[in-house]
């Protein structure tokens, strides 16, 4: 039987990695030969989660061969997906994002819910289908929910995410808040990364109105820890704009303790950010966005609307 590849978006976050592995388990339950793979490096936060779940490794791929069957988790947009995706046959999507840049030649399973995390919808499937829960996949799903909802504090968090979080916490018999804070903190140590790596850790590309933009986000416990590197970060952003012919590069530094963000915007279309948030960029091309933590719900929609 042909092997099905399962993967999340490029610059994978904890949800993309964990949900791929959980989805592999679900696919195998249905007798499918499936392998979770990844489209990029594992960040420190995800590494923390994988260690706790005792996952040894997950193979990296960069493109797909003609006819490869794939299942997408945590994304659907072409710009965020595997290179040469047109080669692949997409047999399933499990996602919680807007649908854009997506079409297929053949019918497929497409499950999308407006939840805070892909793993929440996978947890629903596992419960409904009576698939056996074990410590590993429970840890992976809880980690993904903590990451995507910033410990249930993000405006993207729904009651379904909360229900799954508390049920998984109980199943695992751990203190999810303590575990989650340690996991999120593990992801905030950016000192080991070059400026170029920092701006690409969690970067997503979008296209609208024939304009190409990137919205990148990092988490921190102290915005100044990241903002002191503004000059080298801006240099790296300018390079991305030139190399990838971007119209706008938005970099969000998100304070996970106080739940707000500082934005740095560069590119021809940077005034789009001023209009979208009704703010003025200061002499450092930056502005505070109070209460803003979610790219999906609070940042991408107003920017794509103004663009
Ligand atoms: Mg994601
Ligand atoms: Mg997600
Ligand atoms: Mg994310």
Q: Which residue, of 185, 219, 254, is where some domain finishes? A: 185
CB 180 within 8 Å of CB 151? yes
**Spacing, Cα 157 to ligand 2 middle (Å):** 11
**Spacing, Cα 283 to ligand 1 middle (Å):** 32
Return d(Cα 113, Cα 93) in angstroms, integer.
11
**Spacing, Cα 17 to ligand 1 middle (Å):** 9
Q: What is the CATH number of the domain that holds 69?
A: 3.90.1640.10
Look at residues 180, 91, 106 and name the one whose alpha carbon lies nearest to residue 143: 180
**Spacing, Cα 35 to ligand 2 middle (Å):** 19
Q: What is the CATH number of the domain that holds 208?
A: 3.10.310.20
Percentage of residues of the chain with pLDDT beyond 70: 100
**Spacing, Cα 16 to ligand 2 middle (Å):** 6
Q: What is the pLDDT of residue 109?
A: 97
Q: Which residue, of 185, 209, 242, is where some domain finishes? A: 185
Question: What's the chain's length in residues?
Answer: 307
Task: Please tell me whether residues 33 and 102 are part of one structural domain.
Answer: yes
- pLDDT at residue 123 tops 70: yes
**Spacing, Cα 122 to ligand 1 middle (Å):** 14
Task: Please tell me whether residues 136 and 206 are part of one structural domain.
Answer: no
Task: Please tell me whether residues 42 and 72 are part of one structural domain.
Answer: yes
Question: Which residue do the tokens 């420190």 mark?
Answer: 44
Ion ligand 2 residue ranges (Cβ < 5 Å): 15, 74, 118, 148
**Spacing, Cα 203 to ligand 3 middle (Å):** 9
Local confidence band at 216 (pLDDT 50, 70, 90 cut-offs): very high
Residue range 234-265, pLDDT digits in tens: 999 999 999 999 999 999 999 999 999 999 99
Residue range 52-86, pLDDT digits in tens: 999 999 999 999 999 999 999 999 999 999 999 99
Residue range 194-211, pLDDT digits in tens: 999 999 999 999 999 999
Residue 89 counted as domain residue: yes
**Spacing, Cα 75 to ligand 1 middle (Å):** 7
Residue range 152-189, pLDDT digits in tens: 999 999 999 999 999 999 999 999 999 999 999 999 99
Q: Which residue, of 161, 185, 209, is where some domain finishes? A: 185
Local confidence band at 102 (pLDDT 50, 70, 90 cut-offs): very high
- pLDDT at residue 2 tops 90: no
Q: Which ligand places an atom closest to the C-alpha of 252?
A: 3
Question: Which residue do the tokens 């300018």 mark?
Answer: 238
**Spacing, Cα 177 to ligand 3 middle (Å):** 18
Instruction: Give CA angle at 263 (260, 267), nearest 5°.
Output: 160
Task: Please tell me whether residues 199 and 181 are part of one structural domain.
Answer: no
- pLDDT at residue 1 tops 90: no
Structure tokens belonging to residue 95: 């996602």
**Spacing, Cα 303 to ligand 2 middle (Å):** 20
Q: Which ligand places an atom closest to the C-alpha of 154?
A: 3
- pLDDT at residue 222 tops 70: yes
**Spacing, Cα 148 to ligand 2 middle (Å):** 6
**Spacing, Cα 303 to ligand 1 middle (Å):** 19
Percentage of residues of the chain with pLDDT beyond 90: 99
Question: Which residue do the tokens 């030969």 mark?
Answer: 33
Local confidence band at 15 (pLDDT 50, 70, 90 cut-offs): very high
Task: Please tell me whether residues 115 and 256 are part of one structural domain.
Answer: no
Task: Please tell me whether residues 152 and 219 are part of one structural domain.
Answer: no
Q: Which ligand places an atom closest to the C-alpha of 80?
A: 1
Residue 190 counted as domain residue: no
Q: Name the residue range of residue 87's domain.
A: 4-185
């Amino acid at each position: 039987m042909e092997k099905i590849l399962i993967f999340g978006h490029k610059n994978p976050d904890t949800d993309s990695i964990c949900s791929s592995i959980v989805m592999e388990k679900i696919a195998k339950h249905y007798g499918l030969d499936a392998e979770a793979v990844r489209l990029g490096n594992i960040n420190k936060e995800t590494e923390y989660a994988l260690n706790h779940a005792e996952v040894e490794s997950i193979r990296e791929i960069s493109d797909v061969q003609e006819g490869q069957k794939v299942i997408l988790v945590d994304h659907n947009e072409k710009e965020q997906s595997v290179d040469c995706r047109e080669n692949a046959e997409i047999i399933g999507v499990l996602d919680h994002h807007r649908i854009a840049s997506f079409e297929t030649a053949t019918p497929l399973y497409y499950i999308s819910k407006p939840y805070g995390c892909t793993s929440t919808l996978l947890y629903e499937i596992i419960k409904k289908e009576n698939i056996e829960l074990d410590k590993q996949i429970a840890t992976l799903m809880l980690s993904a929910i903590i990451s995507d909802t910033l410990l249930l504090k993000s405006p993207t968090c729904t009651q379904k995410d909360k229900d799954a979080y508390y049920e998984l916490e109980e199943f695992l018999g751990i203190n999810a808040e303590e575990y989650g804070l340690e996991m999120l903190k593990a992801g905030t140590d950016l000192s080991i990364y070059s400026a170029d790596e920092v701006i690409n850790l969690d970067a997503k590309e979008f296209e609208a109105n024939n304009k190409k933009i990137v919205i990148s986000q990092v988490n921190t416990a102290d915005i100044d820890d990241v903002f002191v590197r503004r000059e080298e970060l801006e240099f790296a952003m300018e390079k991305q704009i030139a190399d990838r012919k971007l119209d706008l590069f938005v970099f969000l530094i998100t304070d996970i303790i106080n739940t707000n963000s500082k934005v740095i915007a560069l590119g021809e279309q940077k005034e789009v950010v001023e209009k979208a948030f009704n703010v003025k960029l200061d002499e450092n091309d930056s502005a505070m966005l109070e209460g803003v933590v979610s790219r999906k719900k609070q940042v991408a929609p107003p920017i794509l609307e103004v663009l």
